[in-house]
């Protein structure tokens, strides 16, 4: 098997003392096929009778007795998510990784399914590690990760955070290693990054590597070196998006804010804001106070290219409504993803915001003066929303009913900027 060139996604987390104001800042760009629609959806907490099943993208698995409320940014054709958060302020993003072990084409759980399952079933970052690895052991990971192409498969790494810490989880088939991050910053980008600091692991992970001849059983065990094609030295020296992202975090170390993270996700020179056949189709930034009495704020674009998008706030409060403007059409039993054979036709999955954004993006591209005016209007809207959220992050939510539609209202204001520019 030849080494596959990393082609998508960057995920970041910054914790005190790298951040300002005793907050954890989480961010991710989802880099996917340029014609793929990413939707932002909300699912409330639910109780189940213990007998039910949950139908993931390809396979059905056992449901748990209770699932937490979640907000997700996801490719519209599948069940799982590229990134998201839950009501306990756990945030998860996943990355494609390739290594010595071939990724399985047989349909199982996608890494994106594992993101959603981790959020629905865990109220801390460490518990999310346990949920994901338990599901890996029971059901495995596999299946094509694109709607209209067979054979695009990969293993997954995950960056997971909560109010006090973050965890990096890296997998190869059912084998895995996890590292706790208790301060500073961390980023991941399509390559194994756990080296010798391993805080949890699959009990047979080292012996499996030894049996395959990847490790001699004597030298210090380095997960990235043992399980990937690329040595740690090559990773550090590669000039890849990983290295560029690390430099951008270091540049603001001690003062990393939500604005810092948004600027990083918008950075095109580094390749983090990706263009081309694979491009940034959705972005997320979360601000999580370490104080448990204060709410977290989760910003999503729900549109491609964060440079031409607005990061819009979402807060977990009671009585939230569905996010209609960023929810794609549902095709139910007629969806070709659920049929065999697949890939015969691709339905139109564009949601309302995506359609309007697509038109405006073309205007920005074609008409410089008008494009600058639109972009300025979008930035002013984003700044206004972030100022509103600063009060929430500092003082909490006094009247939850005022914030049930904060994301949807922000979407409507964004579309108003489009129509008046």
- Which of the residues are catalytic? 9
Cis peptide, bond prior to residue 341, ω within 30 of zero = yes
Token pair 């060139």: residue: 5
φ, ψ for residue 294, nearest 5 deg = -110, 145
Q: Is residue 257 classed as helix, strand or coil in its secondary structure?
A: coil
Q: Is the distance from CB of 179 to CB of 167 less than 8 angstroms?
A: yes
Token pair 């509103």 is found at: 388
C-alpha distances in Å from residue 122, one per residue of 63, 85, 91, 116, 305 = 13, 11, 10, 10, 30
Burial of 292 (0-12, 13-18, 19+ CB in 10 A): exposed
* Distance of alpha carbon 258 from alpha carbon 288, whole angstroms: 10
Residue 154: which residues within 8 A CB-CB, separation 6 or more? 4, 96, 97, 98, 103, 111, 145
CA distances from 183 to 17, 200, 224, 295 (A): 7, 18, 21, 20
Given a contact cutoff of 8 angstroms between Cβ atoms, the answer to whether 29 and 10 are in contact is: yes
CA dist 281 and 328 (Å) reads 14
């Amino acid at each position: 098997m030849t080494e596959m060139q990393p082609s998508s996604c960057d995920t970041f987390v910054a914790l005190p003392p790298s951040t300002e104001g005793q907050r954890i800042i989480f961010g991710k760009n989802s880099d996917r096929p340029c014609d793929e629609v990413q939707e932002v959806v909300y699912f409330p907490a639910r109780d189940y009778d213990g007998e039910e099943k949950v139908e993931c993208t390809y396979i059905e698995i056992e449901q748990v007795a209770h699932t937490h409320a979640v907000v997700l940014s996801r490719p519209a054709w599948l069940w799982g998510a590229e990134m998201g958060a839950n009501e306990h302020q756990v945030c998860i993003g996943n990355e494609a990784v390739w290594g010595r072990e071939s990724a399985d084409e047989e349909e199982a759980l996608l890494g994106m399914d594992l993101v959603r399952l981790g959020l629905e079933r865990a109220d801390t970052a460490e518990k999310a590690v346990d949920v994901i690895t338990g599901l890996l052991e029971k059901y495995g990971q596999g299946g094509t990760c694109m709607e209209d192409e067979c054979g695009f498969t990969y293993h997954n790494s995950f960056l997971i955070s909560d109010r006090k810490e973050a965890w990096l989880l890296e997998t190869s088939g059912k084998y895995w290693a996890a590292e706790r991050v208790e301060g500073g910053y961390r980023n991941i980008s399509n390559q194994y990054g756990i080296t010798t600091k391993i805080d949890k692991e699959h009990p047979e992970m080292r012996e499996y590597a030894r049996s395959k001849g990847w490790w001699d059983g004597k030298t210090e065990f380095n997960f990235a070196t043992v399980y990937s094609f690329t040595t740690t030295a090559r990773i550090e020296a590669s000039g890849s998006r990983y290295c560029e992202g690390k430099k951008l975090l270091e540049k603001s170390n001690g003062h990393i804010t939500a604005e810092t993270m948004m600027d990083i996700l918008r950075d095109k020179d580094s390749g983090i804001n990706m263009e081309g056949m694979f491009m940034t189709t959705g972005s997320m930034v979360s601000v999580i106070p370490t104080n448990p009495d204060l709410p977290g704020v989760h910003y999503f674009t729900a549109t491609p290219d964060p440079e031409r998008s607005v990061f819009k706030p979402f807060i977990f409060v009671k009585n939230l409504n569905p996010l209609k403007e960023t929810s794609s059409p549902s095709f139910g039993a007629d969806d070709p993803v659920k049929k065999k054979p697949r890939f015969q036709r691709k339905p139109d999955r564009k949601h309302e915001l995506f359609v309007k954004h697509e038109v405006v993006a073309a205007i920005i591209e074609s008409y410089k003066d008008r494009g600058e005016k639109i972009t300025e209007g979008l930035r002013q809207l984003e700044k206004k929303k972030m100022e509103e959220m600063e009060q929430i992050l500092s003082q909490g939510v006094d009247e939850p009913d005022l914030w049930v539609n904060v994301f949807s209202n922000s979407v409507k204001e964004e579309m108003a900027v489009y129509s008046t520019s």
